[in-house]
Structure 1
Amino acid sequence: LETKSNILPEEYYSDGRFNHNQQIHERLNFLKFTLKEGRMYLSAEHSKTIWICLAEAAVFPNDREQCFRWFAEIIDEDDFEPKAAKDFIQSHLMKLEPHLLTDLGMK
């Protein structure tokens, strides 16, 4: 899906039931729930995949905001592999193009 000025994420229903923002939000919440309840950590490989899809190659600007918010929450809740959190910040967040970084991403 390419972003076009006439398509809003709130109006794009890829499955006919939930809009784009709802899709991203629910999927990230499910992952967070699975990590917490399963007492698991997010691996470096999986964090990279999520980051690339939602921060670096975001379809809509709100994808990036949701990504920043989600990563901030799981880092605060220790849902990352212990070493992976530091590596993630150094490898991905610090290398993100400055024009893509928002106030939320800076936190």
Structure 2
Amino acid sequence: MTTFDKREEGFERKFAFDEEQKFKAKARHNRLLGMWVAEKLGMSGDAATAYAKEVVAADLEEAGDGDVVRKVMGDLAAKGVALTEPQLRAKMDELMAQAIAQVKAGT
């Protein structure tokens, strides 16, 4: 194996690792968001955990955050909880930073 081949293999491993970290952080973010919204909806315990799983699953419908935002905003509106989309997106940004830190820390 040449030095170039070894270098290429190293880049490929790094890329795969980075993509795995992004996936884990996104899933963690959605779970944290689901737990936060569940609290706003008056849920706790198993109901909150189940709701968080629904939010994680909602993110698999399409690329980007649109599917999660629609689900959460719809659920909040159905329960009469006042929250604007910009407020939700700000919380999502905050939770993403938290999720990234948790994934990097291995927790």
Structure having the higher helix fraction is 2
The answer to whether the superposition gives a TM-score over 0.5 is: no
Give the structure-1-normalised TM-score. 0.29
The structure whose RCO (Cα within 8 Å, separation 6+) is larger is 2
